Amino acid sequence: MTQIPIFQLHRGDAPLLVSLPHDGTRVPDDIAARLTPSAARVPDTDWHIARLYDFARTLGASVLVPAYSRYVIDLNRAEDDVSLYPGQNTTGLCPVVQFDGAPVYRDGAEPDAAEVRARVERYWRPYHTALQDELARLKAAHGRVVLWEGHSIKGDLPFLFEGRLPDLNLGTAGGASCTPSLQARLESVLAAQDRYGWVANGRFKGGHITRHFGAPAQGIEAVQLETSQRCYMDETSFAWDAARAAALTPLLQALLGAALDHARGS
C-alpha cells in the first residue's frame, strides 16, 4: 500500500513561507471509525485554503500543506496542549469537541494519552520540523524571512466567540511575533480597501505556530490571517465559490506582496 505523505512542501526562493496547517482532510481508517457522523465530515477544516493561496507560488513563496485533518492532530497547538486562549472555549491538540461544541468521537472512543503522544510523533513533529528547517533555509539565504499562517473559519460560531467574526482577522500575538513596521504595513493594506471588514489581534491573535516561530529579533517574523469562510465559499455546503474567491484574491495578493517587500527590505 502506498503511504500518504504527511505534508507537501513546495520550496520557493523568496523570503516567505506560507503554512496552511488546517487544510488537510484525511483521517486514517482506525480513527475515522470512531468519529461521530457529524465529525466524519471534518467540518472544522480550513476548507480550500490551499486553493485560495495557490497564487503564493507565483510570488516565489514556499508553501507547506498537510494531508491530515485537524481531528487527527491540530498542528497549530503546542505538543503539551496548553490552551491558547485561557478561560475561553477552544479545541485541543487532538480535539474531542467540534467548533459547535458537539463531540468528535463516539462515546468512549476518545484517544487516550498514549495515542495522543503517538499522533504527535507521527503527524505533528514532522510538520514542525519541516517548518523549522524551511525557515532556517530561507533565513540563511536572505537574512530574514516572513512566516505567513493562512487559516479560515466559519464566521458564526457561538461556542468559540460572541457575535460575527470580522472578514479578515490579522494575528501577530499582540505585536510580539513580528515587527511593528510589518504589522503597520499589513494594516495599511487592509485599511486601503472597504470591501472586507478586518481587525488586528481580536479574537484570533495567532496560534501556536505564529507565537512559537515568530522571533523578530532573530529575523523571523510570523503573521496569522484568519479569514471568514463566507468570503470565498459556502459555509453550509463547504463548496468553493469562484466569484467570491476571485474578489478576495487581489487583497490576499497585496498582503503577501507587502510581507514579501518587507522581508526584502523594500
| Stretch 70-75: mean pLDDT | 97
Q: What are phi and psi of 57, to 5 degrees?
A: -65, -35
Residue 199 in this model has a pLDDT that exceeds 50: yes
Provide the CB-side half-sphere exposure for 167 (13 A, CA): 18
Starting at the earlier edge strand, list the strands of the sheet with 16-19. 7-10, 62-66, 16-19, 145-153, 220-228, 168-171, 198-200
State the pLDDT at residue 1.
43
Number of Cβ within 10 Å of residue 107's Cβ equals: 7
State the pLDDT at residue 83.
59
pLDDT band, residue 88 (cuts 50/70/90): low
Specify the pTM.
0.95
State the pLDDT at residue 203.
86
State the pLDDT at residue 87.
55
Indicate the average pLDDT of the chain. Answer: 95
pLDDT digits (tens, 9 = 90+) for 103-153: 999 999 999 999 999 999 999 999 999 999 999 999 999 999 999 999 999
State the pLDDT at residue 159.
77
Percentage of residues of the chain with pLDDT beyond 70: 95
Residue 89 in this model has a pLDDT that exceeds 70: no
Domains of the chain by start residue, with CATH: 7-264 (3.40.630.40)
Tell me the C-alpha distance between 58 and 70, whole Å: 27
State the pLDDT at residue 68.
98
Number of Cβ within 10 Å of residue 218's Cβ equals: 9
pLDDT band, residue 2 (cuts 50/70/90): low
